[in-house]
Every structure is written in C-alpha cells, then in structure tokens.
Chains A and B, each alone.
Chain A
Amino acid sequence: MKGKLSIASMISLLVASAITVMTIFVPWWQMKFYAPQYQEGLDIIVYPTRLAGDIDIVNGLNHYIGMALFSNESFPELQYMPYIIIAFAIAILVVALIRRKMPLYILIGSFAMGGIVGLLDMYRWLKEFGTNLDPRAPITLDPFIPPIIGKNTIANFVTNSYFSYGGYMLLLVFLLLVFPLWKDRKKA
C-alpha cells in the first residue's frame, strides 16, 4: 500500500465529510446588538441557507440610518450554499475512499480557497450595507464597515460579531483535512 493514506487518515477524512454536511443545519456567523433599551440583545444569525434572529426589528431600526433591508432574498449566496457544501462533502468522501495524496492536496487547496472567498464575500456585504446608506435617512452616519469578528459601536448600539458553531466546525474540518499530511508524513 505504498503512497496510500493510512486508515487513520481515511477515518479523519470520513469524519470531516460528515461534519461538513452537518454544518448546513447550524449557524455559521452571528452578530449581536446591544443598546440600553435592548439589554437582552438583538440577533442576526446567519445559517448557510437563511437568516434568522430579530431581522424585522433590526430592519425597523436600520431604516433610521438608511441601511438597506436584510432578507434572505438580499443574499443570493444563501440559495446555492447548500450545493457547495454538499459538493465539498462528496469530494472529501471520494478522497477518503481513493486514499491518494495528490487529490488531498487539491482538496485542501480548494477548501482554503473557498474559505478565503467566503470571508471576502462577507466583507463585501458588510461594506455594502455599512457604506451604502441612504443619504435621505433621518440620522446621518459616517459610513462604516462592521468587523467580521469583534466589537463595533454604531450610535447607541454596540455590536459583537463572531463565528458560530458552523464556523468552528469548518475549522475542525480543515484540521481533519490536514491531519493526514502529518500522520502520513515521510519519515526520514
């Protein structure tokens, strides 16, 4: 079996494939808003397939600063994300079964690429919503770009953005993908 991935590596990839599928059902990213009147916090919860949380209330408040409306329709990605996730899961499964290193390198490369594209896409949306404010809005704010991770203050609101379960699960998937590189490294 020279040149093939070990059984341990194969199991690692199988687990990675399963976790990838599971991420469809959990939130990936979240933004929580706090204000004196909202000490319990308002949520924007991003699943790979839809938005959840207090979207109507956030939209209601955002109209004061002229921010565009959030809805599932305003993010076309949400419609094809599940297909991308399933495709990745299948690719991982195939690599696990053929147990070859070269396809694994390609897989890791494209997974990392997908992650970077995803982050760039998020940044694009945050910039789009934060800087494209309606100039006729009752409250004039300087354009702003909420961070992907971390704290920001907009008027009376303090926002906290952070990755949720799905984000951490994807990180775990990445670790499980690179695990075979270490496990089956060439020994001197």
Chain B
Amino acid sequence: MNPTLKRVIFAIAGAAAGLLISFIFFADLNKGDQNASANQSKAEKVFVPYGEKDEYYMMASGGHSGQLFVYGLPSMRKIRTVPVFTPDPATGYGYDAKSKEMLGGYTWGDFHHPAISETAGDYDGQFLFANDVGNNRVAAVDLETFHTVDIMSLPNMGGPHAGVFVTENTEYIALPTRFARPLDGQFAPLDDYESEYKGVVSMTTFDREAKKFDLAYQIVLPPWSYDLSDAGKKMSSDWIVMTTYNTEFATTNLEINASQNDRDYIVLLNWKELEKQVAAGNYKDVNGAKMIDPREHKGAIYAVPVAKSPHGVDVTPDGTRFIAAGKLAPMMTVFSFQKAFDAIEKGEFTDEKYGIPVLNYEDVMEREVDPPGALGPLHTQFDDRGNAFNTMFISSEVVKWNVDTGEVIDRQPSYFSPGHAAATEGDTVSPDGKWLVALNKIAKDNFLSVGPSHPESMDLYDISGDKMEHIMAVPVDPEPHYAQIIHRDKIKTITVYPKDEARPNSVWKQDDARIERNGNEVHVYGIAMRSRFIFDAKADRPDAVTVKQGDRVFFHMTNIDLDQDITHGFGINEYDLNFEVQPGQTSTLEFVADKAGVYPIYCTNFCSALHQEMSGYLLVEPK
C-alpha cells in the first residue's frame, strides 16, 4: 500500500474513532426529554387552573383597531376587547346615543400608548387614557366598568404619537404631536415648513368625578417630530422629557431626510413653570386652545442632544435619570436629571436651536450602554432591583442591564422585532419585577397560518431571576404598541350597574314601561328582562312599537335584571342597528324610521334559555 495513502486512511480512521468516542461520551441523547421537562416547568409557571385568576391585567393598546385589548398575566389569555375609538356592534358601542356622540362620526382611531391613572407615581387603577394618533383625540376608559367614558378632540395637533403619559398625580395627561402642521387649521405650503408649521404638546386634565376631559393648555414648539415622552417622578416630577426626530425639518421622504443629523434632541419641559405662566395669562388663544410658547419663559424649556432618531425616553423608577434609546444608533444613553439641573443652574448651554437652550451632552450624560451587536433599541422598562430592560427592534432581542453600572446582564431573543416592552408595573415608581412582555411587530410563521394577514406576536419572559427566561409566544390582533401591566388588586370593578331610580329615562317597574309621542318624536321608555321586552305595559302587545315613517324614534332601554352577566342585546332587522344594555344600565338608541314596513326586534346577546323568544316588532306605517 502506498505509504501516503496509508497515512491518510489512518488519519481518517483516527478522526472517525475520535468523533465516535466524543459522541458516546459527550452527546446529549436525552435532549428531547430535557426540552420536554423545561417546557413543562414553563407551562406550570403560567397555567391558571379553573377557579383561580391571573395575577395581573395587561392593558394593551390595539393600534389602528382603535380598541383596548385586556390580557391576563401570566396565562396570556385574552380576556376582553374594549372598544375605544371604533364602533363595536358586540357591545353596541358607537350605536347607542351617548357613545355615538362620543365617537363624533369617526369609525377608527390609532391607539398607541395606554396610560393608567397614577397617584404618587404609582398606578391607582381608576382610569386608563388612550391617544388617537389617527384623528387627534384622547379617550378615557373607566376601569370600574371598562367602558370608554369620554373622548376629546385636540385642535392644532398632527397625530399625538408621543402620548399619552401622565404626570405623577395625573395632574395632566400629556400628548405631544408627531406631525407638524400650521396652527388653527390654516393652509401653508410645505416650502414654508420651518416658519409656518409647528409642533404642539396638548396638556389635558381629567375630572374623575364628572369623568370629563378638559384641554388646559397647549405648548407650541419647533416643527420637529415628537416621538415618545415620559413624565418625571419624585425629584424630577415637574418635568417632561420628549424625544424628537426630524430636526432636519425634512418635508419629504423622511426615512432618508430625517436621518441625516448625527444627533437629535431630548426636549425637557418644566410643566409646573408653564402652568404658572398660563395661570398668569401668558398665552394666546389659538383655535380654542390656550397656546403658550415655552421659549418666551426662562427655565421652561431645554434640549439635550441624543443619538440620532431616538424612540423611547423613560424615567427611572426613582426619578433620578432618563434613558433614551436611539433606534438608529445602537445604544442606550443614561442621562442624569441632577446633572441637567446643575448645568441649567450654571447656565452652561452650547447653543440655541430655535430659541431653545441646548445643554452639553457630556454635562448631562451619565453613561452610554452599547451591547455588542444589539441594534435598534426602542424602549426601556424597569424591575425593582435597579435593572433596565430594552427591546432591540433590529437584532430582535431583549437586553437586561444594570442602570447604575451599565453592565449587560442577559440577552434573550424575541420572535420577532419587538417594539415596546411592558414589565409588571415597570414604568411606575415601584416596579414588580416579575414578568416582561415584548410586543412584537413580526410574527412570521410562529402560529397556525391564517394567510397573508398575520397576527402580531407577544413574548412572555420571567424576569424574576438573574437571567431572563423566555416562557412563550402568543398571537394578538393588530396591533399593540405599548401596554401597561397592573396588579389585579388595584382594579376594582363593578359587576352590575347600581339601580338608580333617579337616572334620566330609566324604567324599573314593568308597569311603568310606556311610549310617549311628541309630534314626530316617539320616545319608548322600555324594559329588557329575562326573557322579554316591555315597551308599553298597557298595550295588548307590550313588545310591539308602531311609528309613522319619518318619525324620530328613541328607545330608552333599561335592563332590570340586576344579575351578574345577564346582558341583553337589542337589534333591529335591516335597520343596521344594534346595542346592548348591561344589568342595571339604561341606554338610548336614536334613529329615524325612514323605511316603512315591519322590522323584527330581538335580543342579540344570549341571555337565557328563552333568549330566542325575547323579541318584538317595530311597525313603521307608510306615509
């Protein structure tokens, strides 16, 4: 045999033997079993047996669905969809007179960032506020009933993306604008962008008793795009921080043109100072809003340079620092409020940008955290042990790091491309540090396919240990942007509306159900109960209503079943009308009976064994 060939054969045989031995000694033949047991322990962490309940509510924005999605944690079971900016036939939202008026003719909204009302920087669980980037509105959901109770339109805005966030005691619900526009609904060509277009922050207040919004004042700013924002806490509670992009004043192809500067800015606003100035009358009335220019008031506004095109800016639970995540620069920057206050005190400004004093980056920056290969940090959440958690949109992961040291502690993949994350009470003064949910933008083929329109996805992580543990991925309807996770003990719901005999239009005794006619208006004061409608107690057929074509008809319906979960629906055949009355609730349906004929009325929400029989007739006599 050729000695060279022999050597080669021996070498191959030796290598093969080595591989065999290493396989016998080191190969993990039980890998499948180990995965199974790891999966079992993950499942045990989140399984909520019948009779028990989840520990947390997750309130997830529904994006351009205009709805609020309520999830239970840790099970990640969806509990309810609450309509906010979008009509919802399942609950009659947008059909009954009150909610129809509240929606103001709009059929959608773009809800990005929920904010639960706070007291002393902690969720108090009474109300949840929602922004509508699509149509410049702010809404409040009463967490006693999970019903939307007020919606207010905001003038002078161009999509309040950078809200909502609340100040420490919900003094203000703030909404900075994303797109700059000319004020007062005026026209101005895009060539005049720098001079005529403005960025605006709406400072709204909410009366918890009357459940009503009010626009306290608006802040006029340069036509930058305001992306995200947060309110200070404790030592920084007078301040608001907001990220900006498009300091280039680009008016077209923003993807390129708004990404040219190496630095954009974080804007610091002193809302306490502005409040004082507004009270002193230092504002202009613009389109019904009290408009104040903070640049005219010393100490009201500053800017800090930040890595370009940032997204999130988040204040630490102790209120001492704010962390900016630069989505196009691969790092998180920790800034110190104290350093900023010191620099302001010394009057150390580099230059002025459009009348705004700009603080030195080095004067305010405490540290930069740049985990290798981590790209596209978007948003920061916190635990109760001094750690921060950042979502990385581009490298599709969650990074855990220590705020004080900048040490990167753990990195876990997400599936895929997380936007915001929400940790248990992770943006309050006292985070719980138990769970984190990454709200992902891309699901690909993680779930059973439903064709080209994919669900979004959410990853649940256990963050109670030193290392994060990915527990599961869950599909969700489009599209949660941000969510807040609140402990169940803070939510105090009612299960049945209280019987209020003084409530306008309510009827509580069957004998009091009646129909009143006034010209061409027909008011039905009716009752829904298991399992019948009573519109006119005295009539031969108490569940029939006869009107004339063209009459304006009002069905004032009270559900007198004061029993948990006995909801009655009310649909009118071919009239495109349907609404609901919850136990103890009174609601009004108003419409013009413009079509002559006979239209069955029936209970649309299954209520009892004789639900099918719960029906009546609307008889519209031809003109």
Contact = CB atoms under 8 A, between A and B. Distances in A.
A13 B289 CA distance: 79
Interface string B96-124: 00000000000000000000000000000
B610 A60 contact: no
Nearest to B609: A64
A56 B563 CA distance: 9
A57 B563 contact: yes
Interface residues of B, number: 8
The majority secondary structure among interface residues of chain A is helix
Interface in A64-83: 64
Contacts of B613: 138
B610 A56 contact: no
Contacts of A57: 561-563
Interface in A115-166: 138
B487 interface: no
Contacts of B563: 56-57, 60
B561 A60 contact: yes
Interface in B558-583: 561-563
Nearest to A37: B565
A64 B608 CA distance: 10
Contacts of A60: 529-530, 561, 563
Interface string B212-236: 0000000000000000000000000
Given A60-B529, A60-B530, A138 B561 contact: no
Nearest to A56: B562
A24 to B, nearest CB: 27
A13 B609 CA distance: 55
A149 B530 CA distance: 30
B227 to A, nearest CB: 49
Interface string A39-66: 0000000000000000011001101100
B334 to A, nearest CB: 51
Contacts of B609: 64
A56 B561 CA distance: 8
B495 to A, nearest CB: 11
Contacts of B530: 60-61, 63-64
Interface string A15-43: 00000000000000000000000000000
Give the most central of B530, B561, B563, B613: most A CB within 10 Å.
Answer: B563
A22 B541 CA distance: 50
A138 B530 CA distance: 12
Nearest to B529: A60
Interface string B601-623: 00000000110010000000000
A16 to B, nearest CB: 40
A138 B562 CA distance: 21
Contacts of A64: 530, 609-610
A105 B609 CA distance: 57
A56 B613 CA distance: 21
A61 B566 CA distance: 12
A60 B607 CA distance: 12
Contacts of A61: 530
Nearest to B563: A57
Interface centre among A56, A60, A63, A138 (most CB of B within 10 A): A60
B431 to A, nearest CB: 35
A57 B609 CA distance: 15
B529 A138 contact: no
Contacts of B561: 57, 60
B60 to A, nearest CB: 30
B298 to A, nearest CB: 62
Nearest to A57: B563
B32 to A, nearest CB: 42
A64 B530 CA distance: 9
B388 to A, nearest CB: 44
A113 B440 CA distance: 77
A61 B561 CA distance: 10
Interface in B514-541: 529-530
Contacts of B562: 56-57
Contacts of B610: 64, 138
A63 B563 CA distance: 15
Nearest to A39: B51
B533 to A, nearest CB: 15
Nearest to A139: B609
A46 to B, nearest CB: 20
A88 B254 CA distance: 91
Contacts of A56: 562-563
Nearest to B608: A64
Contacts of A63: 530
B377 to A, nearest CB: 49
A62 B275 CA distance: 60
A4 to B, nearest CB: 57
A95 B562 CA distance: 49
B607 to A, nearest CB: 11
B537 to A, nearest CB: 15
Nearest to B566: A60
B582 to A, nearest CB: 15
A105 B148 CA distance: 69
A138 B563 CA distance: 20
A45 B610 CA distance: 28
Nearest to B583: A57
Interface string B158-183: 00000000000000000000000000
A151 to B, nearest CB: 23
Nearest to A156: B609
Nearest to A61: B530
Interface of A: 56-57, 60-61, 63-64, 138
Given A57-B562, A60-B530, A64-B609, 5 more contacts: A56-B562, A57-B563, A60-B561, A64-B610, A138-B613
9 closest pairs, A vs B, by CB?
A: A57-B563, A56-B562, A60-B530, A138-B610, A60-B561, A60-B563, A60-B529, A57-B562, A64-B610
16 contacts: A56-B562, A56-B563, A57-B561, A57-B562, A57-B563, A60-B529, A60-B530, A60-B561, A60-B563, A61-B530, A63-B530, A64-B530, A64-B609, A64-B610, A138-B610, A138-B613
